[in-house]
Structures are given as structure tokens and as C-alpha cells.
Amino acid sequence: MKLSRSVVVILLIVSSIGSGCTTVKSVSFENYVDTTAKPIKLQAKKTFKLNNGDIYLSNAFNGARLNDVKQINDTLAEIYIQPENSPINNSPYYAFKAWSDLPTSFYLRFKYPKGYNHRYVPKLKINDKWKIADSTQLFTSKDAMTVKLSLTTEPILVSAQEIQSSVDVKNWYSALLKGKDFVHLNSYGTSVLGKNLPVLDIHKNGKDNKDLIILLTRQHPPEVTGYFAFQAFLETILKDSELSNTFLNTYRILAFPIMNPDGVDLGHWRHNANGVDLNRDWSRYNQPEIKQAVKYISKAIKKSKTRVILGLDFHSTWYDVFYTNESRAKTTMPQFIDNWFIALEHNIPDYTVNETSSDSDKPVSKGWFLYGHDAVGITYEIGDTTSKTEINRIGKVSATEMMKILLKK
Ligand SMILES: [Zn+2]
């Protein structure tokens, strides 16, 4: 539902949350969402044996999701995929390995709890290369999807999206910041299960009075195509170019490459280890992942006497779309979105920006940037099946054009 601006009453409660010297303001939204901890169900990690032990399915790795397996006949099994808890969005994520003692064809039928439907076309990692399952391997009936696999002793990874575990993310940013002393790798805390929460704090020649740009991703674990755009975006900003150099002498970036490491490694559909959608917690910060991120940002603002001017939160959905706030006049950059989208269309051949605009009524980051900081907040969504080439193109150009526009400001 779209709400008129006058109906959305926003109150900033200046109450202090948590202890310590950094005051974090809670931000009120029109619709309250309960983000206190809820129980989750963990998967039993195991290798399932079929056909009396010559076919194997396994969820024994980070990012896996396979709750149960039932063999139907010699060539078919049903695989049961369940969410961490419910209610939850209809985005059934799955990931498992499959192999056999002898080369054979085998069919797997996806089964989800009532009310949830197949969303992700299977992606297969064979010999270290990812590819999307093609039409000769997929069979759709009215309520189920079946995938046909050619199994050998070499495991095939079958997954809703490419696996990018917390270790993969760490490997990526560790390589990225090598030789770049202006990228400061910090920890802003730990997750519910004690995993490190990393942030890349990026600035050249001091950080005082430099306007802040915040980049977020992986609040929702399976949204890996959005993470790929985050990678391309950040890699472009860190390139050894004159534009980048001038930009980082003028602005400071805080980039959060994995907001929900527990959810990512547990193979969650959407929530953190407390069973909560982190992108509904940007009001009272009940979850440690959000609370500590907000604290880090608030501290940066206070210590460097600065402000947030732009927040981009990278996600994935059915298609590419930018979710923007409708209210712009009060933000520090009222013209940014228009200028940015014009520049994207101008610089990406055959590309039309898909924008959906409304002020956030629920506690999502996009609304937090607007109501809490008078900043431009955008949910940067990439389609589930948008190709890597396309993602890289959009990620690169959007970073370049952002830098150009901000330097003209
Ligand atoms: Zn999302």
C-alpha cells in the first residue's frame, strides 16, 4: 500500500538505547514490527544415503539447506526444504551436494511446507564452475519442481543461489584491501552466534568532516546477486583512478559486506540466528547485528563531526529494481536520485532504470536513512537470475556515476 506523505508521521525518539558513551537514537516507523528473538529450528547436518548406499546427498557444509530426504523409487527422491522459522517470506532457499558411486541419472523433487512455492531456479556447481540448470534438467508440474542430475563420484553442488559463505566473503575483502592502506578493516561486533561482523572504513587523508556513504548487504542470506553488485560497486570505488582518488579524499565510505553471517552460514531463507528479519529492525535495534552497526555509524558521525548523506542497501528479488523514498526535498541531496538514474540510463546501453518509490512504513534501512538522517536511502535490488556480466555492468556504472555526481555537488 502506498501512503501519502502527510499520513506518515515520523517521530524521532531521542531515547538512548544500550549503555556506553555512544547514544543511538531509535527511529519510529508507522508500522511497528516485533523484532525480538524467536526460536529457530536447526537442520541436522548429515549425509543421506539412497538406493541402499550408492547415491548420496549432503548438507554438511556452511550455507547448506536440506532438511530431509525420502526415496520414492530407484530414480526419484523427494527433498524437504524448510525455513528456519515462520512466518517468513516465500523465498525457499536450498543448497546441498549430490554424488554417486557409479555414474547415474537421478531425479530430485523439491518439497516445501504448505504455503511456500519453488522460487529459485537451481544453480549447479560442477567442476568448480557454476551454471543455471537448463530446461532439459527441469520438470515442472503444478505444485512441484523436479531436477534431473547426472551423478558421478565428483559431488555436484545444487543451490538456490551461488554459495557465498562468511569465509568466502572474508576471502574476498581480504584480497581486495591488500596494498590499500586507506581501507581500514574493523570489527563492529559479533553476531548472535559469535561470528565477527566486519566493516570496511574507507577514507584518504583523514576522516574529519567528510560526509558518509553507507553500503550494506546480506541482511537476507540468499540474496547473493545483490552481494555481487555490492562487490562490483565497491571494487569500482577502490580502483586506482583519478576519480576514485578525488572521491575518497572528499568522502568516507562505511561498507558492511556481511550483515547476517549466522543466517548465511546456517543456510537461512531470510532471518538471523534469533529468527528475525534484520531488515525490519531499523527502529529499536533488538538484534545485535543491527544494534552494533548503528552504534558504529553513530560513533563515526559523532567522532568525525559529520553526517550520513547516502545509504545503499544491496538485496536480490525477482527482477532488478531500485526501491527509493518518495520524500526527497528534506534530504541533503534532493536531486541525487534523479541525476543518478539519468546517468545510469545514459551510460549503460539498452538499460532502463526500474524504480519503485514510496516512503518506508516498516523499519527497513531505506527508511532509517531518511527518517533518522535526512539522507537518501535506496534498496538496491538485483534480480535472482540477472547474469554476472549484467550485474558487473550495473555495479560499476552506478558506482562511477555516484562518484561523479557527488563530486559535482
Ligand atoms: Zn532482501
What separation in Å is there between the alpha carbon of 322 and the centre of ligand 1? 12
- Would you say 89 and 269 are in contact if contact means Cβ atoms under 8 Å apart? yes
What separation in Å is there between the alpha carbon of 36 and the centre of ligand 1? 19
What separation in Å is there between the alpha carbon of 331 and the centre of ligand 1? 24
Strand 47-50 to 104-111 pairing: unpaired
What separation in Å is there between the alpha carbon of 373 and the centre of ligand 1? 22
**Average pLDDT score over residue span 384-392:** 96
What separation in Å is there between the alpha carbon of 154 and the centre of ligand 1? 33
pTM for the whole structure: 0.94
**Average pLDDT score over residue span 196-213:** 96
pLDDT recorded at residue 21: 56
- Would you say 234 and 399 are in contact if contact means Cβ atoms under 8 Å apart? yes
For residue 143, what pLDDT band results from cuts at 50, 70 and 90? Answer: confident
Asked if residue 10 has pLDDT above 60, the reply is no
What separation in Å is there between the alpha carbon of 253 and the centre of ligand 1? 21
What separation in Å is there between the alpha carbon of 278 and the centre of ligand 1? 9
What separation in Å is there between the alpha carbon of 56 and the centre of ligand 1? 32
Nearest to 192 by CA among 80, 273, 298: 273
Asked if residue 3 has pLDDT above 50, the reply is no
What separation in Å is there between the alpha carbon of 376 and the centre of ligand 1? 18
Asked if residue 7 has pLDDT above 60, the reply is no
What are φ and ψ of residue 89, in 5° steps?
Answer: -60, 155
What separation in Å is there between the alpha carbon of 220 and the centre of ligand 1? 5
Question: Going by C-beta distance under 8 Å and a sequence separation of 6 or more, which residues neighbour residue 325?
Answer: 331, 357, 358, 359, 360, 366, 367, 369, 370, 376, 377, 378
What separation in Å is there between the alpha carbon of 223 and the centre of ligand 1? 6
**Average pLDDT score over residue span 310-321:** 97
- Give burial (CB, 10 Å; 0-12/13-18/19+) of 395: buried
Distance CA 264, CA 278 (A): 12
SS3 call for 241: coil
